[in-house]
Amino acid sequence: MSLLQIFPGLSKVMRHGGTHLTHAAGVQGSELTSLVSSVFLNRDALMNVNCIKPSNASGSSLEGESIKRTAPEDLKVPLKKSKLPTTRIDRISTFAGLAFALLTSPSSSKSTVLSSYLRRLRGGALKLGQMLSLQDTTVLPVEWSKALDNLRNKADAMPEEELKEIFKREWGVGIEDVNGGNVVGFNRRVEEGGLGEGADRDHWLLDYCSIPDSHVLKMSTSGSPVTVGDIKSIRPQAFASASIGQVHLATLKDDSHLILKVQYPDILTSITNDIANLQGLIRYMNVVPKGVFLDSIIEQGVREVEGECDYEREQRGMARYRSLLEGDPELKALGFQIPKVVPGLTTKRILVTEYAYGVTIDKCEGMSQEVRDNIGRGVLRLTLLELFVWRFMQTDPNWGNFLYDEVTGLTTLIDFGGVRKFDRSFVEGYLEIVMAAADGNEDKLMSKSIDMGFLDGNESQIMLDAHLGAGLVLGEPFRTKGSYDFGSSAITSRIGGHAKVFSQHRTQPPPPEVYTLHRKLAGAFLLCTKLKCDFECRELLDEVWERVRKGDVEV
């Protein structure tokens, strides 16, 4: 198969001139060496915007008392920068270069080549790679799973000139003006159309457009909401980057800190073409088994990445989620929280929130059993509430979206670009399957799975046995009397063993919502396993079941 067959429209690129293809056609050995070094040295910092060694500042409080806190230093090895290919010709030619590099590279380096190119492309291509990385390693080849997993928050950063253009377009004020103390006004960009207008995926947010005053970050000196004039400096060097944007630190005049998430230029326009091109490449390389149903994963990936491109939508989602979380006494007692927002500085392309301290929760393995159990219990409780009571979920189970602060004992949730609401009838049907698994009721588990569209009833016996086996393993923590020892359970690998059968013998894709719901619940179990948590799970599920049965859920 030729490159022209893999990527529709490539012939047009070649006719426009060979320089595009020549520029994109390969990855130099020195570039790969530099990239691998940078990723290794920045591994913890890149996992999340707050995993950086501190220097000097003040911030959070504990039991009403102010605590002297620190601000992150610049990365010792700065993020690799590259200009985002924005035109259709540029992006198709970059995909052509990826295909050429994969076709001509030895097997041992193909995964490195793939991750390098997807980091450069960002956008829909990187998002789909991240979604595929969430498939169990028994489904994808090991080297591809590792390469795709390395894509999390490790995209190239944009050059400084592109960054300056975005600030001037969105704020009407450049970074150099803010840092030079020359801010004389603020021209916040206003998009045409009302909030959520014309976008079906936003219809459920229209009831939650307002942001309560208590959710808004205010200056400690004046008690008034933060404005651009309150910013003392903005660091032009990004210290984290992902599929849609990159993150910068700003310091206020009271020495507290802001997080600025800045979107890559014209990233939304690239999504459809990118995913079609990557889909063609994946099919050609034949790395995804037919039972994974790549088209269904792609459809969900497109929906998620489109929603993440509107930062005003994300801020409204944060406000709604914060209200729900604050309404749960146990989560508050466990110290779970969400950063305050800065609506006066947020646009569709720049998101501004308060800075959250801590390390990603997967770095808490060496902490006490009590701390680890509290984190795991909180994450599992939060997941069950999201799934069945709130029906309003932050869809990405990435551990980097939870930060544990050992000083205050607080766990902060970040990154709400993927929040979405679910249909009540579907999640209640899904809860019945989970309860059947928790009760060991095999007949109900299977019959409800057919009713819900997980199975069509015509599958082979090996597929039916794998579905039942996976369901029973999923229900094991809730079926166990007393505390459940995740550390010795091997629960995720056992589920993965059944998933390998799914990838070969599934006859129809599961309901689309399941890609999110399953991923979130499995992510909670995986975290509890990594932290070797040991706590009672059944009481959490029973509480949720009772609330749903009584109708004590969000409408």
Catalytic residue numbers read 396
Q: Which SS3 state, helix, strand or coil, does residue 527 take? A: helix
Contacts of 199 (CB under 8 A, 6+ apart): none
CB 376 within 8 A of CB 531: yes
> In the chain, what's the furthest Cα-to-Cα distance?
71
Q: Long-range contacts made by residues 552-555, C-beta under 8 angstroms, separation at least 24?
A: 552/389, 553/388, 553/389, 553/390, 553/391, 553/424, 554/324, 554/389, 554/390, 554/391, 554/392
- The DSSP annotation for 119-157 comes to HHH-HHHHHHHHHHHTS-TTTS-HHHHHHHHTTTTBPPB
Q: Which residue pairs, CB below 8 angstroms and at least 24 apart, start in 322-329?
A: 322/215, 323/212, 323/215, 324/385, 324/390, 324/392, 324/554, 325/382, 325/413, 328/381, 328/385
The tokens describing 426, both together, are 């579907």
The first and second tokens of residue 252, run together, are 């206020």
SS (H, E, C) 291-318: HHCHHHHHHHHHHHHHHHCCHHHHHHHH
The two three-digit tokens of residue 548, written as one number: 């749903």
Q: Which residues have a Cβ under 8 Å from the Cβ of 374 and sit 6 or more positions away?
A: 334, 335
In this structure, the strands spanning 231-234 and 419-421 are: unpaired
Question: Residue 532: how many CB atoms within 10 A of its CB?
Answer: 16
Q: Which residues contact residue 162 at a Cβ distance below 8 angstroms, ignoring those fewer than 6 apart?
A: 83, 84, 264, 265
Structural element, H or E, at residue 176: helix 175-179
d(CA 141, CA 287): 7
Written as six digits, the tokens of 24 are: 């994109």
- Distance CA(128)–CA(124), nearest Å, equals 6
SS3 for 49? Answer: coil
In 3D, which of 302, 178, 314, 338 has the Cα closest to residue 248?
A: 178
Contact present, 443 and 422 (Cβ < 8 Å): no
**Chain centre to alpha carbon of residue 123:** 13
Residue 413, amino acid: L
Cβ atoms of 264 and 84 within 8 Å: the answer is: yes
What residues form DSSP beta bridges with 484?
535
**Residue corresponding to tokens 């620190």:** 70
Q: How far is CA 379 from CA 134, 135, 274, 427, in A?
A: 18, 21, 33, 19
**3-state secondary structure (DSSP) of residue 351:** strand
